[in-house]
Structure formats: structure tokens, C-alpha cells
Structure 1
């Protein structure tokens, strides 16, 4: 793994850590994020729709150009929503 790859992965971890801290400091964000994911997870542009609504309704800001960490977070939300839906 190159030095640039290591630096990139470190940046992703730091970015995800910041989002997780926000969620732990404001637990209602988790419920809101899952509701938003449920609403948009089947759309072809689910990442964009979820990111826009999350940014508009919470203190989580996801830019239009998604970073690797943003994409991982959005994928995780969609997976969690699908897991929750499968239980019912």
C-alpha cells in the first residue's frame, strides 16, 4: 500500500469518527437518519437524496461530491434500514 493510500484511508477513518461522534452526541440523529434512509433507499439516486435530506434536517453535512467516508456512511445507513425492514 502506498503512502498516499495510507493517508487517504486515515482521512476516511477520521471523517467517519467525526460523524459517529455527532451521532453519539445527538442520538436523535440516528432515528432521523434511518427514517430518511427508509424513505429513499430504493431510489436510483438514493445516496444523493439521503445526503440532501440529512444535510437539511440534521447537523450532519454531506457535500454534493461524496467522499469515500460519505459513501461508506450512506451505504451503512441503507444497509441498516434494509436489515430493519427485513425483521418486519
Structure 2
């Protein structure tokens, strides 16, 4: 069951575990028993410790593109027979 946040007009934000079918129903504040509206918030995400993540504020790596063209693997034949390479 997911954990949803609700907001009471007098007490503030509170959380409640609910099934998906009850997600849009108003919840009763545990302090003052008044109905509260659901607050849409960002989901909590837990990443596995086996993942290696960079520091979120690290600089991106600078990648330089080679300016000189690489030599071609095959030479073009001028004899008009492209299927005969290096013969």
C-alpha cells in the first residue's frame, strides 16, 4: 500500500497508508478529526547501494572530438570493380 499525504486546514500535513482504490477519498485528520484533501507530492525513491552514482553537482566530462579524419580501412579501386578489394 502506498503512503499518501493529506492536508488539514487547521493542523497541516499528515500521512496515511491507503490502497490504490481509496487514494482519492478524503482522509480524516488524526488530531482534529476534520476531513483533509490529498496533497500531490514527489515519490520517494530508494536506490540500491550496488549502483555507483556520481555526485549530483559534479561537472560533466569534457569530450573532445578528433579533428583529423581517420584513415580509411579500404582504398577505393579505380578499375570499376568495387567487389574486388585490394587485389
TM over 0.5: no
Larger radius of gyration: 2
Instruction: Point out the structure with the larger strand share.
Output: 2
Structure 2 length-normalised TM: 0.30
Instruction: Point out the structure with the larger helix share.
Output: 1
Structure 1 length-normalised TM: 0.30
Tell me which of the two structures has the higher relative contact order, counting C-alpha pairs closer than 8 angstroms and 6 or more residues apart: 1
